[in-house]
A and B are shown apart, each in its own frame.
Chain A
Amino acid sequence: MLVRKRWVVSAVVLALLASPVAFARRPPGARSGHPAPAAKTPIDEFERMSPEQQQRALNLLPPGQRQKLQQRLQRFNQLPSEQQQTLRNLYNRLHELPPGRQESVRSAINRFSEQTPDRQQLIRDELRSMAPLPERDREARMATQEFRKSFSRKEQGIIKDMMPVLPSH
């Protein structure tokens, strides 16, 4: 009886581990708290495919959409390698988050893009200064008068919502 129970528990655990839902939309390396440096995005996985496999995957799209995707891939590959790596890291951190928080980050970036260029630059500078700080210090910084005076409530919300994609320490 005990042996049978063990088998059932093992089977359930294995089924959960094998379930595609368990790790849906999570990039490799996202299972642990910190993404591995070599974590790959779907773009990297696509690039690693053979030309035949790439063509077969692209053929699933209508011609117009296919061409647009190829152009976007080309643009991404033409970015400096350092910028590509930064985007990969951001992407992987974003995809470590639960879907609801991912959407909050996306929404914050959209609100960020609606700001004037000089305000955008101020927000970038603030995020850059917060990036190396531990989470507790970031919270403390956002609670300061200086921070509250420097940014409107909307901008404060943008910065707060973007926090999850900052590197964790």
Chain B
Amino acid sequence: MRCPLEFDKSAELIVGYGARTLAPEAAAEFELHLHSCEACRKMAAAQKAVWAALDAAERRELPVSPDFDRKLFQRIQAKQNRDWWLWRALVPATACLALATLFLLKQPDSMSMPKVQQPQPAVQIDQVEHALDDMDLLNQLGAAI
């Protein structure tokens, strides 16, 4: 077998061997080559070490808080409640605002309605007062004129 390190697809071959994804014939042929090639042996060993470490990590259980689920559901519930209250307050407030706007828009119409004009007196009351002042003054002349 020609040494995989001498051609471009060497990485695929060595990684595939480490991951045990090579076809059996290819794997057997590469193993034969490993007996005679120290460089490939080192590469394959390094690959095996990587895969062994990943397998070990997969098997090891990560510490999880016992009430993780409860806390998570609490947080979800709290968020839902918050949203619900927000909507509960927001919807009536929006409705009130819309009604107020509608009322204000309608208001000028009613204000601009022609008011019933009170009939104006034929004479202003201050004119009557001034006339009485003059009459009192003129009355001082008596029946002179």
Contacts and interface: CB of A to CB of B under 8 A. Distances in A.
B137 A69 contact: no
Interface stretch (B30-38, B82-90, B93-101, B122-130): B122-130
Contacts of B129: 69
Interface in B102-143: 118-119, 121-125, 127-132, 134-143
Interface stretch (A31-39, A43-51, A133-141): A43-51
Interface residues on A, range: 35 or more
B137 A73 contact: no
B144 interface: yes
B145 interface: yes
Contact of B118 (A43, A56, A76, A83): A56
A145 B118 CA distance: 61
Interface in A36-78: 41-43, 45-46, 48-49, 53-54, 56-58, 60-61, 69, 72-73, 76
B101 to A, nearest CB: 39
A42 B145 contact: no
Contact of A113 (B122, B134, B140): B140
Interface of B: 118-119, 121-125, 127-132, 134-145
Given A76-B135, A106-B137, A127-B145, 20 more contacts: A42-B123, A42-B128, A43-B131, A43-B135, A48-B122, A49-B121, A49-B122, A49-B123, A57-B125, A57-B128, A60-B125, A72-B136, A91-B131, A91-B135, A91-B138, A109-B138, A109-B141, A125-B144, A127-B141, A128-B143
